[in-house]
């Protein structure tokens, strides 16, 4: 039996990769003005968005609530259909818990339906590559419960490493202290960040200067990539710094010429927390 794959705007996926994936919208405020992001990264004006953040725009995000999941899941569950939703990390958002609550209610009401929520322990393409894997399993005719098991086991292998250009955005969301942000800015310190096994964003390295930060991210790929797998898609997202994204892609290709690289602006929902100049690399690898 086939199942419906859901992700949301945080998955960062361009149109050409969305076959078999339904996207849920994400709402946020820019200077108290409501914005609904449908998830189509190609319709997202990343240049204007990140320029606005740099110039002082205030962005507030909120979790996807249970009502939204019920709205989109109920028509499928009421017909006995199965669902797998790839959620952004429970370590940075309450969205996962809201989805679990909706799934629990619906499976009680419609016992013929099976709904599984995958905690991606990531965001951006960290969600996206798992959604791609879910869609692939569905197309191959994988049973829903077996696909759910495979996806849960795949989460620790969905690697995501990134750096930021301005530590003050991380300071504003409590990721680093004000003193650390100030000292880091003065000394041009760039953190290398990743989503750990609990889904929290932590620093795994610190280097001086942007060039060294890009090299450090590439080194993580060299150390942790899985070679010659069917899923060796590599994704790069950026906060309006396409030149750096292209440099990162070229360095990855030097290591693995078979890598299928997708580059896009980093989605706005988590982009508000990492800011302009964010540069991230997402790939299948050994445990984070």
> Which pLDDT band holds residue 177 (cuts at 50, 70, 90)?
very low
Any alpha helices (H) in the chain, and if so which ranges?
Answer: 46-54, 66-77, 95-109, 125-139, 144-154, 167-172, 178-187, 210-224, 242-255, 268-274
pTM greater than the 0.85 cutoff? yes
> Which of residues 140, 155, 170 is at a domain's end?
155
The two tokens of residue 282 are 């997402």
35: domain CATH number is 3.40.50.10170
Q: How many domains does the chain have?
A: 2
- pLDDT, one tens digit per residue, over 228-253 is 666 688 999 999 999 999 999 999 99
Query: In this structure, are 56 and 139 located in the same domain?
Result: yes
Based on the fold, state whether residues 37 and 150 are members of the same structural domain: yes
* Averaged pLDDT score across all residues of the chain: 90
Residues 106 and 180 in one domain: no
Residue 188: pLDDT over 80: no
User: Is residue 191 located within the same domain as residue 263?
Assistant: yes
Q: Would you mind telling me the total number of residues written for the chain in this entry?
A: 288
* Token couple for 209: 């200067």
- Determine the pLDDT at residue 49: 97
Q: Check whether residue 175 and residue 233 sit in a common domain.
A: yes
- The whole-number pLDDT of residue 273 equals 86
Residue 217: domain span: 158-284
How far apart, in Å, are the Cα atoms of 260 and each of 16, 228, 229? 13, 11, 11
Decide which of 155, 171, 202 is a domain's last residue. 155
At a CB cut-off of 8 Å and minimum separation 6, what does 191 contact? 163, 164, 167, 170, 176, 184, 203, 205, 206
Are 215 and 124 in a shared domain? Answer: no
For residues 7 and 127, the answer to whether their CB atoms sit within 8 Å is yes
120 and 182 inside one domain: no
Give per-residue pLDDT as tens, 55-110.
999 999 888 999 999 999 999 999 999 999 999 999 888 999 999 999 999 999 99
Which residue is associated with the tokens 């429970």?
90
Q: Of 9-13, 53-57, 116-120, 197-201, which gets the smallest average pLDDT?
A: 197-201
* Residue 64 CA from chain centroid, whole number: 15
């Amino acid at each position: 039996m086939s199942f419906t794959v859901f992700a949301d705007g945080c998955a960062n996926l361009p149109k050409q990769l969305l076959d078999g994936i339904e996207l849920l919208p994400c709402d946020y405020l820019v200077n108290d003005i409501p914005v609904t992001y449908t998830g189509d990264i190609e319709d997202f004006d990343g240049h204007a968005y990140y320029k606005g953040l740099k110039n002082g725009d205030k962005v507030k995000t909120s979790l996807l609530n249970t009502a939204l999941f019920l709205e989109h899941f109920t028509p499928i569950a009421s017909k006995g259909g199965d669902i797998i939703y790839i959620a952004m990390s429970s370590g940075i958002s309450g969205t996962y818990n809201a989805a679990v609550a909706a799934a629990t209610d619906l499976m009680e009401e419609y016992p013929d339906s099976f709904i599984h929520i995958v905690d991606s322990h990531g965001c951006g393409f960290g969600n996206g590559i798992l959604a791609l894997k879910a869609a692939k399993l569905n197309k191959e005719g994988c049973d829903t419960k077996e696909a759910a098991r495979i996806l849960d086991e795949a989460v620790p292998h969905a690697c995501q490493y990134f750096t930021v250009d301005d530590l003050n955005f991380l300071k504003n969301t409590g990721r680093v202290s004000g003193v650390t942000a100030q000292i880091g800015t003065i000394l041009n310190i760039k953190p290398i960040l990743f989503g750990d096994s609990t889904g929290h964003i932590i620093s795994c390295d610190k280097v001086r200067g942007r060039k060294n930060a890009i090299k450090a991210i590439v080194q993580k790929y060299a150390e942790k990539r899985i070679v010659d797998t069917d899923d060796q898609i590599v994704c790069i997202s950026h906060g309006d710094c396409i030149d750096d994204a292209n440099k990162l892609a070229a360095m990855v290709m030097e290591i693995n010429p078979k890598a299928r690289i997708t580059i896009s602006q980093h989605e706005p929902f988590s982009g508000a927390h990492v800011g302009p100049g964010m540069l991230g690399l997402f790939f299948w690898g050994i445990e984070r």
